[in-house]
């Protein structure tokens, strides 16, 4: 009895999962689910149209419209290396975090002064741009440093 209940439960679970995964079409064998089609339609028609109401021509047009995105996603998954993927994700996360950090002009100016002093001390021949020009990139750099240092505080390093 217990086994039967488990089997029934599993069957029910699988049927609900597959319900949302009903196929609206395929692109090179990749499924486009009805759910995905409805999501796209919602965005395109501002919620006025659904897959069920869509005429034949409309369905074909929609799947053709959705095809490039599916193909790009598949190509990206296949062709991008692990390193590239990691770099892209890290870059995205970093940008997201950096956008939340605000560096004031005063802080940027202080950092600029420090850098120019250090450059003079090192007798660097490189041309130092004026603060106005360097301000934005300097702010970005400072924000990135903040994000990284905050992140590294969470690192528990054990050297063996």
Partner 1 sequence: MKKILCTLGLASALLVSSVSADALKNSLNNILNQKDSSGMVNLNGVSVGTKPKRKVVKQVRKVRKSRPGSAIIGRYNDGKVVRKKEADKYIKKATKGKIKDLDLLPKKQRLMVLKDLKRMYEIKHFKSRPAKAVVATVNGHAIHKKEADIYLKSVTGGKVKDFDRLDKKQRLVLIQDLARPIMLREAVESNVTEVEKEAIFKQMWLEKQRATIEVSNDEMLALYEAKKEKALAANPQAKIPPYISLGDNLKNEVLEQKMMGNLMKDVNITVNYETNETVQTNDSNESSVKLDKIPDTKETE
Contact footprint for partner 1 (CB under 8 A): 14-15, 18-29, 34, 38, 50-52, 56, 59-60, 63-64, 67-69, 71-73, 75-77, 79-80, 84-86, 88-90, 92-94, 96, 148, 151-152, 154-160
Shortest approach of partner 1 to residue 97 CB, angstroms?
Answer: 8
Record the tokens describing residue 88, joined without a space: 């892209």
Residue with the two structure tokens 């993927």: 85
Shortest approach of partner 1 to residue 130 CB, angstroms?
Answer: 29
Nearest by Cα to 66 from 95, 37, 30 = 37
| CA dist., res. 97 & res. 1, Å (int) | 53
Residue with the two structure tokens 């301000």: 135
Shortest approach of partner 1 to residue 132 CB, angstroms?
Answer: 27
Closest CB to partner 1 among 70 and 139?
70
Shortest approach of partner 1 to residue 38 CB, angstroms?
Answer: 8
- Burial 114-131, CB ≥16 within 10 A → b, else e: eeeeeeeeeeeeeeeeee
Contact 147, 94 (CB under 8 A): yes
Closest CB to partner 1 among 96 and 114?
96
Closest CB to partner 1 among 33 and 116?
33
Closest CB to partner 1 among 61 and 104?
61
Closest CB to partner 1 among 82 and 123?
82
DSSP letter for 156, please: -
Nearest by Cα to 41 from 65, 69, 16 = 65
Shortest approach of partner 1 to residue 139 CB, angstroms?
Answer: 21
């Amino acid at each position: 009895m217990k086994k039967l209940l488990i089997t029934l439960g599993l069957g029910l679970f699988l049927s609900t999962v597959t319900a949302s995964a009903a196929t609206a079409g395929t692109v090179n064998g990749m499924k486009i689910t009805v759910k995905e089609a409805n999501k796209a339609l919602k965005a395109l028609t501002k919620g006025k149209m659904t897959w069920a109401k869509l005429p034949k021509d409309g369905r074909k047009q929609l799947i053709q419209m959705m095809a490039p995105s599916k193909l790009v996603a598949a190509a990206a998954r296949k062709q991008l290396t692990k390193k590239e993927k990691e770099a892209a994700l890290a870059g995205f996360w970093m940008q997201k975090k950096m956008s939340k950090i605000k560096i004031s002009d005063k802080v940027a100016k202080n950092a600029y002064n420090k850098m120019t002093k250090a450059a003079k001390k090192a007798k660097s021949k490189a041309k130092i741009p004026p603060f106005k020009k360097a301000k934005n990139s300097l702010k970005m750099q400072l924000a990135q440093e903040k994000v990284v240092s905050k992140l590294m505080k969470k690192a528990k390093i054990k050297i063996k």
